[in-house]
Amino acid sequence: MEHNIAVIGAGTMGNGIAHTFAMSGYQVQFYDLDQSSLDKAMTTIAHNLERQVVKNIINESQKFEILSRIQPINDLERAVSNVIMVVEAITENETIKLELYRQLDKYSNESTILASNTSSISIGKLAAATNRPDKVIGMHFMNPVPVMKLVEVVKSITTSTLVVANVTEIAIKLGKTPVLVNDYAGFIANRVLMPMINEAIHALHEGVSDVEGIDTIMKLGMAHPMGPLQLADFIGLDVCHSILKIMEEGLGQPKYSPCPLLSNMVTAKMLGRKTGEGFYKYDGKNMEVSPIFAPRN
């Protein structure tokens, strides 16, 4: 049991988290209610492991060994039984998460740590939905999880110091660099990142520069590997919008209010890479500025 963990949610973050734990020797009980999402996630993990084989990070036999450690399950009670920790990586929706935490509390062992990959929702609020608030903690991974080294370890006012120490140790075993932060809206990563993205959208909205101009300035002038508008597309404009609204409400400051252009794009379902169009238009591996924002001669 000491090497058994559960990952809840088979989206981009969930499959990356399952992949990373399995690579580090953990047995992963990988849950999603939707079987097709689980199947797609397992295909993605296999593809990403194959890329690691090509890069000589692992060999072919290790690839199959890692895959064998991930057990897809679409029964929540079975998925979270007899694990030391549950890592939740479902949609960034507070109501849905709260209901899940009530179920996790009911189905998992009393000693099981409940960790959330939430990027902005209060850990204390999630903890209050359980009878084990001392064992609820944030474990915010960065995307792509197998590559990015940072994990924000988010301590609420009720999280025990022992749980913080255990989760910090687990993050180190995964080859990550854990950084402890306290439970305030947006934590650190998104509290700094999202206002920058939002300001870049304001600059576009006000006509200060165009999409490529804004992204090029931040890449060449600030040594960012990706411009803020492209990054917003990769994160998902709906996710950016949701995080900004959570920070606006949680911190009580209008400076976090989403730019009207961002709100309009979310309403129009222009959500970035996952829908094929945001600030850029995506066609397979090709990317060009969305016609809506393309400079007009």
**Catalytic residue ranges:** 119, 140, 152, 190
CA distance 275 to 236: 9
Sign for the pseudo-dihedral over CA of 4, 5, 6, 11: negative
Which segments of the chain does DSSP mark as H helices, in order? 12-23, 35-54, 60-68, 76-79, 94-107, 123-127, 161-173, 189-205, 211-222, 228-235, 237-251, 260-267
DSSP 295: -
| Peptide bond between residue 195 and the one before it cis (omega within 30 degrees of 0) | no
Contact criterion met (CB below 8 Å) for 92 and 126: no
CB burial of 218-248 (b: ≥16 within 10 Å; e: otherwise) equals beeeeeeeebbbbbbbbbbbbbbbbbbbbbb
Q: Is 239 helix (H, G, I), strand (E, B) or coil?
A: helix
What is the rounded end-to-end Cα distance, in angstroms, of the chain?
A: 64
